[in-house]
Amino acid sequence: MSLEAIAVDPVLVTVVLPCLDEEDSVGECVDEALAALELAGYRGEVLVVDNNSTDRSVEVAKAHGARVVHEERPGYGRALRTGIEAADGEIVVMADADLTYDLSKIARLVGPIADGEADIVVGERLSEAPSSTMPFLHRRVGTPILTMLVRRAAAGLTVTDSQSGYRAFRREAILSLGLRSTGMEFASEMLILAGRARLRVTETSTGYRERTGTSKLNTFSDGWRHVRQILLLAPHLMLVAPGLVLLAIGAGLEVVGLVDPAGLAVGSLRWQPSFISGIALILGVQALVAGFVLSERQRALTGRVRRRRGHARASLPAACLTTGFVAAAAGIAIDAVLFVLWIHTNHTFSRAIPLAALAQSLVVDGASLAGFGLIYPIVERGAIGSPDDEDSRDTQGRDTRGRHDQIGDSSRARSAAGSATVLERPPRRS
């Protein structure tokens, strides 16, 4: 086909399949995807991203009509990002090369995007998937919890299966999000940032099948990667808000202890709320400090600086340092007063226990805030660099930024020229 014809009739859909040792299934996936595109009348391609396979996956994929690109650096997210950058299609469908996703249903995902009704369509797995296709912890615990957190972090997202790896989306819309994830947490990052960017996200049922070959998933480590990603993107959800709640509880219980120093009557016993109030105050401040650290790191990575009336906002570490010293000094002062009263009142001061608990909390919280104010600027200057530092070296430590920039540049050049000439494209199937 001539370049002029390709320019008139560009590739609409690219199906991206990350692949690591999937020779038993990748060929069937390619066949299923190409057949689905042809049946739906979409001009498309299948792009297999080889992630250092040691079997015949590459040869099998090309023999079945796929285009193959290579991503040497390990990671599901890295492979998908490389595939999205290298895709020719205006619409990208991401799936797996292990037959778990029914690629014959591609039209369900692509249709709303092609019709201008959505920017992202997620293939929901749970409603049609047999129980044998997914471990109990994934179906009943991990996926519902992560989906709830992603929906809260994305504000307004309505998906019910945030962990599905079967999705279609407008290529340019996803590239504009600046996704950085390298592993399975890529799925959560995409939806959170898409929700914040007000992209139109919908969901359609696609089912889920038993996989062919060995699973690459690790329940706990991959789950933690998702939680860590959500923590980084939404510290207000998992740290700041709970921290404020704990502070409110601690302050309320402290007031109760001061009003009724004898404690609250619980049956025949007396419960002293001051001990719990001290713990709540300390944990609340610890959560807030952790949330502040993640918020500051996210702003540093993205280059965002809050400004007020034309001036840069006050330094958060400096504010914490000042507040910390004031709180610690107040706690020490309360302890000093209690010590004097203890000497002169012969141990009978009625509010000594709640005040001692408050003083302890102020000293610990003050030290935490002051420590954050002192240490964080040092860590920030020493650890935070270019947003692409994490992805700039391969597994042997070689700098790969130039090579991957070239992939993105060549992809953009192909889009502008309408050319379908790419790395390792097989002959078109008759």
Q: Where are the domains of the chain?
A: 3-233, 235-383
Whole-number pLDDT of residue 380 = 66
pLDDT score recorded for residue 291: 87
DSSP state of 211: P
What kind and span of H or E run contains 13? strand 13-19
Buried b (16+ CB within 10 A) or exposed e, 1-27: eeeeebeeeebbbbbbbbbbbbbbbbb
Q: Which CATH superfamily is domain 3-233 in?
A: Spore Coat Polysaccharide Biosynthesis Protein SpsA; Chain A (3.90.550.10)
The per-residue pLDDT for 301 is 62
Residue with tokens 């070689």: 398
Indicate the Cα dihedral angle 381, 385, 391, 395, nearest 10°: -50
Q: Say if CB 334 and CB 383 are below 8 A apart.
A: no
Phi, psi for residue 312 in degrees, rounded to 5: -60, 145
Alpha-carbon distance 138 to 218, whole Å? Answer: 11
Measured between alpha carbons, how far is 340 from 256 in angstroms, rounded to an integer?
Answer: 24
Q: Backbone phi, then psi, for 184, in 5-degree steps?
A: -65, -20
HSE (side-chain half, CA atoms, 13 Å) at 267: 1
Going by C-alpha positions, the residue among 150, 228, 180, 168 that lies closest to residue 75 is 180
C-alpha 266/C-alpha 150 separation (Å) is 40
Element (H, E) at 49: strand 44-50
The predicted model scores a pTM of 0.73
Report residue 129: phi and psi, to 5°. -85, 130
Q: What are phi and psi of 311, to 5 degrees?
A: -120, 145
Beta bridge partners of 14: 45, 92
User: Read out DSSP for 343-402?
Assistant: HHTTT--TTHHHHHHHHHHHHHHHHHHHHHHHHHHHHHHHH---TTGGGSB-TTS-B-HH
Angle CA(151)–CA(172)–CA(417) in degrees, nearest 5?
170
- Rounded to an integer, what distance in angstroms lies between the CA atom of residue 331 and that of residue 355? 9
Rounded Cα gap, residues 237 and 223, in angstroms: 17
**pLDDT computed for residue 348 by the predictor:** 61
The reported pLDDT for the residue numbered 346 is 64
| CA 125/CA 105 separation, integer angstroms | 12
Per-residue tens of pLDDT for the chain, all 430 residues: 444 444 446 779 999 999 999 999 999 999 999 999 999 999 999 999 999 999 999 999 999 999 999 999 999 999 999 999 999 999 999 999 999 999 999 999 999 999 999 999 999 998 887 777 787 777 788 899 999 999 999 987 899 999 999 999 999 999 999 999 999 999 999 999 999 999 999 999 999 998 887 777 777 888 888 888 988 888 888 899 999 999 999 999 888 888 887 777 777 777 888 878 889 999 999 998 888 778 777 766 655 544 444 444 457 788 889 999 999 999 999 999 888 888 877 656 678 888 888 999 999 999 989 988 888 777 666 554 434 444 544 444 444 444 444 444 444 444 444 433 334 445 444 4
Q: Which two tokens stand for residue 345?
A: 């009142």
Q: What is the distance between the terminal CA atoms of the chain, rounded to a whole angstrom?
A: 12
The amino acid at residue 56 is R
**pLDDT for res 209:** 92
